Structure 1
């Protein structure tokens, strides 16, 4: 009960503080609602970037991946530091020089309105069908584990708890995002961000103490000695992140996420100056380099404790196994055959079924490991506090994705095609209505994600569908003015189609030839870039005489003076990334 009371108190406190800080601020104009009036400072930008990213698809998903694969999954965090350096030094000045609100607006200026429309459609579909449901699903998993909702409510059915928590989070998040705008999202992010960093560090320290019988340093040594291979920064061939993929799909997905993903970088467009934007992005980069302490180490501790039978109770494991067996029994004959296809044909069918059930239970453990660890290592009052912080993290990512979706619809579709003459109030209203509809769709889809082998792996796989073609077009658009609009549009559609075919039609073939999905993404990216450059060479775009260069800063709505220390700080962060990888590669 004390956990629940402290959870409600801290959740309400953040809501009240956010309301007091944004009360009376402009949110009825499109700049005020979608970009917080272009007034964000470095600290708010860094906090909002971090908490939008450090949501439950990271807390639950990445720690779950670490539960399965060990330290190698830190690639998703450490390489993010490099990507943010590139964002601060290369991409951000070009975005802010144009005074844009969305990435599709940038593409409209560089190519044409068709490019903008295609990108808008891809972003909106991806956020509604992939990102928002995953945020809600992982949030529900994490929260139910921390608060032990099975015990608290007396409801043992996992799906019932899942639906209840998904809708609770979705409704609260919709109120924040739909009625508050980006300023509300950014302010609540900053407040929750502080709590998340403090709480996450406490969990890492207390977890190590638990493993080490009261000595955190001994806890680290105990885990490393028990499973030395799990402490390598370089994943082997069986890992979800084999080390060669660091130079192909993993790098590209990271680059898109931190330089081109509307959900993440929208707060950087709201910077009051370029210098503030660069400082905020680089501050976030510095913190991301050390994020594995919060997002990877707990998952590794959870795995160690699970091998000793100390993470999940025997009763809870039995419930998982019963639910998995019931799920198998409910499958149609064809689905059963497909489920058992990976098993050795020579073994008894009942043994094969038990193996399938065991693998399903292990998958459930991945998704529930972080919440179970938090519940066991934190004192009751602090468990409620961290649950409130986790709700803040969930709401942050959900709010940001929902706000980004509303922005894309209102400015890219509603104002351009539905009501070109709409005033500011009508544009904002359209975003609120559309955001509400998308939230409802996401709340319906989220519970259906139960049963994925790795929810974080599923997220990265699905992200590849749209990350790669959009990043290729944005990057080429910045680097080569000769590329005509029509081939950029072809690249967007062809890239999306090629990756979808590779995933869903030729997935088995890729496994047979041992072509990793991340390498496949790298091949598609390079192919798209080569295709666009061939057309640029053979049939270049005609650039009007006297046209301003793409990076001209004279029309920017904010001061474009660069931060003098941006270059040295960026170089220092890049060196830190290499040192971290080198140390854990040979440890």
Structure 2
């Protein structure tokens, strides 16, 4: 697929410069005095308003794996990738109604701290170490690699130079101002990402519509071609059915959210357990996501922040999925090459759309959106990882009496070291091959099930004890490794075991069973490990406070509308409704 050579005009440089200048002003302003205490540095003094909580929650989540990897996966698999955005309706609802009031009442700085109070110190340390490793390998290194891939494609930069530059530029405000700088710069970043991402989508639909056509015409053409009923689009799906659906002989439906059990990314059969394992681990247990919730100024701000994040998730496929579907509609030949080249080629989709569709003068905005996505995730992960290193490893294991000033100093130093290691690893991610998005998701599927099972059981059932939790973590990782070894050594592994979502679901159910059985066969936990602050007491847990004073500011109102909207999207893209609309061929 040929593309135009890439060039930037003075206006593009002005847009990029204005973005980083504004980002620097916001980061400096928000971070003033935040090194005065550990509460200020690690939890922003617990004064973040709801719009900052929600904006930062999403900005931390969106990065190069979305603009590079998720768009690439949408080129290959179609609308089904949106399930990874809209499926958050379940996890976000659990956060709003159960986890937020629970975690705030527990008054903890970190999730490992909670695990020690509920189970034992060993579990806290294991989770802290695993969190640091997963943050560096699954988040920072992959994000820096994705950004470097874009810069290399756009400007011909050396990949190592790109990784180093991105790491240094992206990490500066997390090191300087802690969570406050991170959260407020995230709010700016998410606005730029939405505007920039929607610009690509609009230009793509306009290109599909052609001269004299409307955006609605472009949308109809995109839908029709992604239904793959004729021409090269049908051929592209037909020749790759085995790869797209893991051997399912039926025709692959690119316009359905609900896919067969052999689908490589979102098999419908594993939707619920995948959300309750990877979703809970990512959005609740994952320190770099939950930290901004713990830094909210009130329970209302924490809850409404997640509602706001949910609404951003509703529109995210317009930015991270639809561009991939537009690229497939424009260039179905991407899927007609050798399969081992399809995914790497698809990962270049965002860059190719910028190159071929975006006029000089707007490219700076699009690059600012991409760079913003990278810096927000790097900032957030750096801040949260340094929080865990400082509070759960340094203070817990080496200096329990450390002063606030000492803790902040360790946080700054550990951020620098973590960033350096991530930059080093980021240069090697590309050698793993395959899709960037699937690489990251497969790591989530490995790390998440044991901890998610222990966490959910631990807060719901007081009989779960530390012995059961430890055995579950060890055996869960053992099963995960065994599955990976089997998949790499077996000549023809069963198609249903190939999707990482199915692997995560199997491991999650296994961990639930192990944790329950071992806990019942060993001594019950001590009384102080199952207090009302550490486990749910349905009679005393006040789930109805912090919901807002008026109906139009109520958490209930906006959460309810969020639920209705996502359910409607599920119905429209169920694989049954859309074909019945009989969209005209254009």
TM-score, scaled to structure 1: 0.84
- Is 1:149 aligned with 2:155? yes
Q: Map of 1:532-543 to 2, 5 A cutoff?
A: 532-543=515-526
Matched, 1:218 2:217: yes
Aligned to 1:325: none
Q: CA deviation at 1:368?
A: 1.1
The match for 1:186 is 183
Partner of 1:157: none
Q: Give the C-alpha shift of residue 24 in structure 1.
A: 2.9
SS in 1 for 2:402: coil
136-145 or 40-49: which moved more? 136-145
Task: Say how many residue pairs are matched.
Answer: 527
The Cα shift of 1:187 comes to 0.9
Distance 1:450 1:542 in 2: 46
- Number of the residue aligned with 2:238: none
| 1:224-260 deviation digits (Å, cap 9, x = unpaired) | 2223132222234455323323233355322321222
How do 1:17-416 residues align onto structure 2 when only pairs under 5 Å count? 17-22=25-30, 24-145=32-153, 148-150=154-156, 161-213=158-210, 214-228=213-227, 229-236=253-260, 237-249=262-274, 252-307=277-332, 358-416=338-396
Q: 1:548 to 1:512 in 2, by over 3 A?
A: closer
> Could you tell me how far 1:7 is from its partner in structure 2?
4.6
| Aligned-pair CA distance for 1:519 | 1.8
CA distance in 2, matches of 1:222, 1:284: 30
Distance, in Å, in 2 between the alignment partners of 1:542 and 1:124 is 28
Distance 1:190 1:304 in 2: 33
| Structure 1 position 507, deviation (Å) | 4.1
Match of 2:442 in 1: 461
Distance 1:84 1:186 in 2: 19
Distance 1:179 1:463, change over 3 A: same
Aligned counterpart for 2:563 among listed residues 569, 574, 585 = 574
Q: How has the CA–CA distance of structure 1 residues 578 and 497 changed in structure 2, closer, same or farther, with 3 Å as cutoff?
A: same
2:384 & 2:420 partners in 1: Cα distance?
Answer: 16
Distance of aligned partners of 1:570 and 1:11 in 2 relative to their CA distance in 1, 3 Å threshold:
closer
Change (3 A) 1:305 1:416: same
Give the C-alpha shift of residue 479 in structure 1: 0.5
Task: Report the Cα distance in structure 1 between the residues aligned to 2:188 and 2:177, rounded to whole angstroms.
Answer: 16
Cα separation, 1, equivalents of 2:450 and 2:183:
29
Look up the match of 1:499: 480
Deviation at 1:510, TM superposition (A): 9.6
Kept in 2, the 8 Å contact 1:84–1:285? The answer is yes
Offset at residue 71 of structure 1 (A)? 0.6
Answer whether contact 2:150 2:348 (CA < 8 A) is retained: yes
How far off is 1:474 after superposition?
A: 1.0
Deviation at 1:506, TM superposition (A): 4.0
CA contact (8 A) 1:55 1:393 kept: yes
Does residue 478 of structure 2 align to residue 479 of structure 1? no
Which has the larger displacement, 236-245 or 432-441? Answer: 236-245
After TM superposition, give the deviation of residue 460 of structure 1 in Å. Answer: 0.8
Q: Which residue number corresponds to residue 530 of structure 1?
A: 513
C-alpha distance after superposition, 1:385-419 (max 9, x if no partner):
22122211101101111111100000001111122
> Per the alignment, do residues 549 and 240 of structure 1 end up closer, same or farther by CA in structure 2, a change over 3 Å counting?
closer
Runs of at least 4 residues off by over 6 Å = none
Name the CA distance, whole Å, in 2 between partners of 1:9 and 1:231.
39
Q: Measure the CA separation in 1 of the matches of 2:491 and 2:48.
A: 45
- Quote the offset at 1:8 in angstroms: 3.7
Structure 2: runs of 5+ lacking an equivalent? 1-7, 228-252, 538-542, 549-553, 579-586
Does the aligned pair in 1 maintain the 2:118–2:534 contact within 8 Å? no
1:267 Cα deviation after fit: 0.5
**Alpha carbons 1:74, 1:233 under 8 Å: kept:** yes
- Residues 157-190 of structure 1: CA distance to partner in whole angstroms, max 9, x if unpaired? xxx6221211111011222222221111111100
Contact 1:65-1:73 at 8 Å conserved across structures: yes
- CA RMSD between the two structures: 2.5
Taking the aligned partners of 1:494 and 1:273, their CA distance within structure 2 comes to 38
Q: Mind listing any 5+ residue stretches in structure 1 that lack a counterpart?
A: 151-159, 312-354
Match for residue 563 of structure 1 among 542, 547, 554? 547
- Counterpart in the other structure of 1:346: none
Asked if structure 1 preserves the Cα contact closer than 8 Å seen for 2:459 and 2:536, the reply is no
What is the CA distance between 1:92 and its match in structure 2?
A: 1.0
**Whole-Å Cα distance in 2 between the matches of residues 473 and 488 of structure 1?**
6
Taking structure 1 as reference, are residues 397 and 510 closer, same or farther at Cα in structure 2, changes over 3 Å only? Answer: farther
- Kindly tell me: are residues 16 and 443 of structure 1, through their superposed partners in 2, closer, same or farther at Cα, counting changes over 3 Å? closer
Whether the 8 Å contact between 1:7 and 1:386 is mirrored in structure 2 is no
Q: Which moved more, 1:188-197 or 1:505-514?
A: 505-514
Q: How does 1:1-20 map to 2 (within 5 A)?
A: 1-2=8-9, 5-20=13-28
Contact kept, 8 Å, 2:27 with 2:177, in 1: the verdict is no
Once residues 538 and 552 of structure 1 are traced to their aligned partners in structure 2, the CA distance between those partners, rounded to angstroms, is 20
Aligned match of 2:502: 519
Q: For 1:422-470, what per-residue CA distance to the aligned partner results, in whole angstroms no more than 9, with x for missing partners?
A: 2111111112212211211111111222252211111111112211111
Q: 1:434 aligns with which of 389, 410, 414?
A: 414
- TM-superposed CA distance for 1:280, in Å, is 0.4
Q: C-alpha displacement at 1:97, in angstroms?
A: 0.6
